[in-house]
Homo-oligomer: A and B are copies of this chain.
Amino acid sequence: MDFLGLCTDLYELTMAQSYLENNKKGKAVFSLFVRDLPEKRNFLVCCGLETLLEYLSRFRFGDKELAYLKSLNIFSSSFLDFLKEYEFKGNLYAVPEGRVVFQNEPLVQIEGSLPEVQILETLVINTIHFQTLIASKAVRSYLVAKGKSLVDFGFRRSHELQAGIYAARASYIAGFAGTSNLEAGRRFKIPVFGTVAHSYIMVFDKEEEAFEAFARSFPRNAVFLLDTYDTLSAAKKAVQLAKKGVSLVGVRLDSGDIAKLSKQVRSILDSAGLKKVKIIVSGGVDEYSIKEWLSKNCPIDAFGVGTKFITSADAPYLDIAYKLVEYDGKPKVKTSPGKATFPYKRQIYRYYREGVMHRDEVVPYTTRNKGETLIKEILKEGSLSVKMPSLKEIRETLMKDLEKLPPSLKGLKKESYEVIIK
């Protein structure tokens, strides 16, 4: 897909045509925010803005897209002409990627003529939702891992390929050391990791032959997978090989009673003087299992985190919306039960106490308070008005915010943070 114009819902376009026909072309502001945080999230990590900007620049309608829309027989030719010329030329305000945010805070606000900003709804929600969802899940593992390495092993069970690629980006921002996903490695210059699967071990007649063969092929990456048949005997075979001079940098455990096995394997390795050999654990790993293992002092050096993180399994979506808050200078509110909205383009002020986040205030954009402002102007009339940060800089932004996050919000127990809407 060169053009992304059809990456939208039909109703965005029927609305836009009707706006044009009814002369509703005034300046509108739409606000993207998460109403309530999921039960198992104490904060969110803003993520996906860079991707959104790329997608916005590709949100155009080429011949293929226009021919399809024409074939639906519902759009006027003047509306199709409007789409043919469409290019986003409005303003975009956003909380930078890597910042910690909370419920009811506008992550992205888009300002422009009403039809122009209405039709972006699906694209904006989809892009920011997914990466924010994943970064906010991944950071939980990062916080409980307390310095142990985490690697994204989730690509095979992401929801289609693209989700895997952007999840690797989001998890790198959230503190992961890298990913197994080569396309993400290439595209975002993220470190890539990986050694062998069980199939590799099974192909050789003897387990030790497989270990030795792999060490010969990749001496610097010689991580032996121990649980194809019996983890402890495999550990002993690894030790025998190491004694013979075969290179061994780590072992991986992918199943079984990890708490027990990691200690037994560590002891087998240590008794042989292989104290530098790392233990890597994978297979259904998430923040809960990491926390449990580390609380039992399991000697695990790194975790491969997969399916549960890449699908955000305990909260697979956020209650996110893109709502009209201002039109033609007038505030706009919806009063549907449970779905009420707050009017006006807004700014977020963040207040600290002794260097720790204390509360946020979400105020009309023109209100001038003291305090840190979170929302920046990113696009002005369609053009970048700031220098976009690198992936490493975004990661550092998050690390700084995590230092200032109230310690109670860093755990896995539900805690809340005060956000005042004024």
Contact = CB atoms under 8 A, between A and B. Distances in A.
A333 B199 CA distance: 9
Given A11-B196, A162-B160, A307-B317, A203 B24 contact: yes
Contacts of A122: 155-156
A352 interface: no
Contacts of A317: 157, 307-308, 311, 313
B130 A228 contact: no
Interface in A152-177: 153, 155-167
**Identical subunits present:** 2
Contacts of A229: 334-336
Contact of A68 (B182, B202, B339): B182
Nearest to A231: B336
Contact of A334 (B198, B204, B316): B198
B129 A183 contact: no
A9 B153 contact: yes
Interface string A334-356: 11111100000000000000000
Nearest to A178: B10
B202 A332 contact: yes
Contacts of A218: 14, 17-18, 74
A216 interface: yes
A126 B307 CA distance: 11
A15 interface: yes
A166 B163 CA distance: 12
Interface of A: 1, 4, 6-15, 17-19, 21-22, 24, 28, 30, 55, 64-65, 68-69, 72, 74, 114, 118, 121-123, 125-127, 129-130, 133, 153, 155-167, 180-183, 185-186, 192-200, 202-204, 213-214, 216-218, 220-221, 227-230, 254-256, 307-308, 311-313, 316-318, 320, 322-324, 327, 332-339
Q: Which 6 A-B pairs have the closest CB atoms?
A: A11-B194, A10-B194, A159-B159, A199-B324, A18-B217, A9-B180
